[in-house]
Amino acid sequence: MKFKKCAVLFSGGKDSCYSAYLAKKKGYKLSCLISVFSKNKESYMFHTPSILKVKKQAEVMELPLIIQKTKGKKEEELKDLDTAIKKAKEKYNIDTIVTGAIASVYQASRIKKICDKLNLKCFNPLWHKDEIKYLNKLIKNKFKVIITAVAAYPLDKSWLGRKIDKKFVEEVKQLKEKYKIHPAGEGGEFETFVLNCPLFKKSLDIKNHEVSGKDNSWVMEIDVE
């Protein structure tokens, strides 16, 4: 069987990690990771909390990492993504881009447009998956995921550092019913970081962390080893 060679759009959060895991299970060869470092904390396209730590994740995944910097201006940041994907195609001869998109038409449509232009396929293994089933699959497949940012009522500072476990899933189910919060954080309600999963050769540990924010908007920047 000939492997399909893919690059994973990688933020270090649960969605991109789990999509990489599913792509590998589907027979894709993970050729490289692509991470976009945005200066804009409110980026429409890219995850920003603890983004620099994707370097450590790439190390324990034993995969090359393409880093592309962007100022994060709406729509203009897509040119920087285009540049990064071109690099991956030229350097690693990939034929597919893997994304962690679940429900964001804004993100998925723009990535698809870039892929079409570069004659690449686009694989979105989480697209429109049932979010509660997805969270339970993360737990079942031994993904150690923590919350690194929150940005929605009634989430507060106490959620930072929480692990996605059975208790977490029950709580976000209730928050969905009561406050319409997306249980997987797809609306930007929370951000995550993966400390361990089946793709990692070893688990990452938090060395220290720094918390900032107020009310229902908090970020925890972590350092890992």
pLDDT band of 2, cuts 50, 70, 90: low
Quick one: CA torsion of 133, 136, 137, 138, rounded to 10 degrees? 130
pLDDT score of 1 more than 50: no
Model pLDDT for residues 86-129, shown as the tens digit of each residue: 999 999 999 999 999 999 898 899 999 999 999 999 999 999 99
pLDDT band of 208, cuts 50, 70, 90: very high
The CA distance from 178 to 192, in Å, is: 22
Tokens at 48, concatenated: 């920003």
The CA distance from 113 to 82, in Å, is: 10
> What integer best gives the mean pLDDT of the chain?
94
Model pLDDT for residues 43-88, shown as the tens digit of each residue: 767 866 778 899 999 999 999 999 999 998 887 889 999 999 999 9
Helices (H), the chain: 14-25, 54-61, 77-92, 105-117, 131-140, 166-179
Quick one: CA torsion of 59, 142, 139, 16, rounded to 10 degrees? 20
Model pLDDT for residues 19-40, shown as the tens digit of each residue: 999 999 999 999 999 999 988 8
Q: Measured between alpha carbons, how far is residue 127 from residues 29, 55, 102, 123, 154 in Å?
A: 20, 26, 4, 9, 26
The CA distance from 148 to 108, in Å, is: 23
Q: What domains, with CATH codes, occur in the chain?
A: 4-123 (3.40.50.620), 131-224 (3.90.1490.10)
